[in-house]
Amino acid sequence: MKIKAHKEKCSGHARCAVVAPNIFDLDDDGYIAIGEIEVSPENEAMARRGVRACPERALEIIEE
């Protein structure tokens, strides 16, 4: 599974990183730092919760 971050939608709420800090990296200003994130199978549930936590819907799950 991958997560695509639509950086232009990110408002810096950082809810994704609060839910799953080991998956979602933020830049120095609190915005999502990486455009595409590879998620290991054991972290998929936590990653999905992080995606759902985003109020701007800036994160998209890509199933492989």
Write down the domain spans for the chain.
2-62
At residue 2, what are phi and psi to the nearest 5 degrees?
Answer: -125, 160
- The pLDDT of residue 57 is 97
Whether the model pTM is above 0.95: no
**CATH number 3.40.50.10680 is the correct assignment for the domain at 2-62:** no
**Residue position matching structure tokens 């599974």:** 1
Q: How far is CA 30 from CA 42, 62, 63, in A?
A: 26, 23, 26
**pLDDT, tens digit, for every residue of 43-61?**
999 999 999 999 999 999 9
Show the tokens assigned to 10: 């990110």
